[in-house]
Amino acid sequence: VLTPEQIGNVRIVMVRTRNPLNVGASARAMSNFGFLNLRVVQPYDAAFREARSAVDAEPVLTAAVEFQDVAHAIADCSLIVGTTAGGARHTLEPIQRLEAGAEIIRQHLQSGGKVAMLFGSEKVGLSNDDLNHCHLLLRIPTRTEHLSMNLGQSVAISLYELVRDSADTAKAIPLGPRRATAEERDRFLALLLHALSLSNYFPRGTQHSTEQRLRRLLRHVPVTQRDLQEWLGLIRQIVWKLESSQSQTSHPHE
Amino acid sequence: VLTPEQIGNVRIVMVRTRNPLNVGASARAMSNFGFLNLRVVQPYDAAFREARSAVDAEPVLTAAVEFQDVAHAIADCSLIVGTTAGGARHTLEPIQRLEAGAEIIRQHLQSGGKVAMLFGSEKVGLSNDDLNHCHLLLRIPTRTEHLSMNLGQSVAISLYELVRDSADTAKAIPLGPRRATAEERDRFLALLLHALSLSNYFPRGTQHSTEQRLRRLLRHVPVTQRDLQEWLGLIRQIVWKLESSQSQTSHPHE
């Protein structure tokens, strides 16, 4: 896990971005994950600081620094990382998947180095000249049929990968297999509610809140499909009894 | 790693989404990672299928199914997952980080189950009634100062986490520490180019391509800062010699 200081040693460098909304969206994702150092090289639209979609990203956009070329934007960094869709473009370097590349970036940051991450324009990505600056080329593992990602989403995923806590995966508490579907549970819930209604269970006006309470109650019972069938049979029997006794007592009044 | 068939058992359920562009952006991310099953509950704008930002996501948007409530949208699923910014909203369930929750989802898919992932509206997220359907609540690990993410980015990150190959991290090839910065390398490159220029190294008009070639050449030499200083001294000496011999031979002509 990276410290805030190590995260502070990452520069996000957006090269020739066309749409200012994409700069804004990237700035918001940066702020979400604590990356506050944005550098912009030759943006097509100088109005990028006013990007509307950048909710709460004003500090990142205001502090963003503009550069005329990539060389100056990366001058203080010792690891230069290029991102690419990894499609048709020919490069001399092997392109690593984000999962592997992020590990190299983390190690570099943990040894005190500064890292520049380059993101190219929406249309053509990074140029070959841009890529020549890079020690490491990354690609997000999109499928072959649809390689090209939205720019703001690429930035968001790359930063998430850097800060994700791999140790956290082990903390997952597995749920049992062969669980009933939501529809089967709902059928059970509906039958149970019917039985409760017939039993005058509901104080006036509480039907909705009771239904929500029971839904919560049932949700975490690890009901297998077989268990559920037994429960359904059981409640059906109660409902049958309630309904027949009701019809017996109510008939005389009709 | 999930098989395409397991990925096909995930339903992305967008509940009361306001901005059709967010549906479009989510559909594009889904298509990027091979999740093709989109369900939409009470969208504010029925025109979501025409979302402009959804480059190459037409198949996902066209196949999207509209529902009037969450219960019907999740009916065939046996694991219901809610996503939340995990901010002020009170819930009865502990909220797990995405890294841990994704492991539960993968296990469920690998045992043949179907999974619904719920994403709420941009403004208020999922309602308490929506959350009551969920077995599992996830949050993307954004920082406390800026919890709330863009909706399309949340979908993109969640799906990336599901398909990421954790084994791939181990394939990373570490780079050496204490490397020279890009600026130091550039200074060295500039000096080397100067020396080569003085030595008439460049065939006419090849300055730029040679520079690019040398940049590539130098990039992967794991030059430490100390090494670099030695190299700089060495080339400086050559440059001094070249310049002084040039001034000796050119003086007579002035």
| One-character DSSP codes across B34-74 | T---EEEES-S-GGGGG-TT-TT-HHHHHH-EEESSHHHHT
Q: Does A81 touch chain B (CB under 8 A)?
A: no
Residue B78 with chain A: CB contacts under 8 Å: 179-182
Confidence band for A177, pLDDT divided at 50, 70 and 90: very low
Q: Looking at residue B225, what is its pLDDT?
A: 67
**Of B100, B148, B164, Cβ closest to residue A172:** B100
Q: Is the pTM of this model over 0.80?
A: no
Q: How many CA atoms lie within 13 A of B106 on its CB side?
A: 22
pLDDT over 70 at B226, yes or no:
no
The closest alpha carbon to A150, from B140, B58, B156, B23, belongs to B156
Please name the residues between 153 and 182 in chain A that touch chain B, using a CB distance below 8 Å: 153, 156-157, 160-161, 163-166, 168-169, 171-175, 177-182
Stronger pLDDT, B12 or B135, i.e. the higher one:
B12
Residue A169 with chain B: CB contacts under 8 Å: 99-100, 102-103, 166
Q: Looking at residue B70, what is its pLDDT?
A: 96
Mean predicted confidence (pLDDT) in B219-229 = 65
What is the spatial distance between Cα A232 and Cα A230, in angstroms, rounded to a whole number? 5
Q: Looking at residue B161, what is its pLDDT?
A: 97
- The answer to whether A143 and B140 are in contact (CB under 8 A) is no
The pLDDT tens digits for A33-92 are: 999 999 999 998 878 887 765 778 999 999 999 999 999 999 999 899 999 886 545 555
Searching chain B, which residue's CA lies closest to the CA of residue A213?
A: B132
Residue A113 and residue B78: Cβ atoms within 8 Å? no
The pLDDT tens digits for A99-139 are: 999 999 999 999 999 999 999 998 889 998 898 888 888 99
What is the spatial distance between Cα B144 and Cα B54, in angstroms, rounded to a whole number? 30
Residue burial B84-107, b: 16+ Cβ < 10 Å; e: rest: bbbeeeeeebebbbbbbbbbbbbe
Confidence band for B194, pLDDT divided at 50, 70 and 90: confident
Q: Looking at residue B12, what is its pLDDT?
A: 98
Residue B181 and residue A78: Cβ atoms within 8 Å? yes
Q: Does A35 touch chain B (CB under 8 A)?
A: no
Q: Does A207 touch chain B (CB under 8 A)?
A: no
Least confident of A8-12, A149-153, A246-250, B183-187: A246-250
Confidence band for A32, pLDDT divided at 50, 70 and 90: very high
A164, exposed or middle or buried, with CB in 10 Å at 0-12, 13-18, 19+? buried
Q: Looking at residue A59, what is its pLDDT?
A: 92
pLDDT over 70 at A171, yes or no:
no
- The answer to whether A82 and A134 are in contact (CB under 8 A) is yes
Confidence band for B252, pLDDT divided at 50, 70 and 90: very low
Q: Looking at residue A249, what is its pLDDT?
A: 62
Least confident of A34-43, A170-179, B150-159: A170-179
Residue A163 with chain B: CB contacts under 8 Å: 141
Please name the residues between 107 and 136 in chain A that touch chain B, using a CB distance below 8 Å: 107-108, 111-114, 116, 128-129, 132-136
Strongest mean pLDDT among A110-114, A230-234, B173-177: A110-114
Q: What is the largest CA-CA distance in chain B?
A: 94
Q: What is the mean pLDDT of chain A?
A: 83
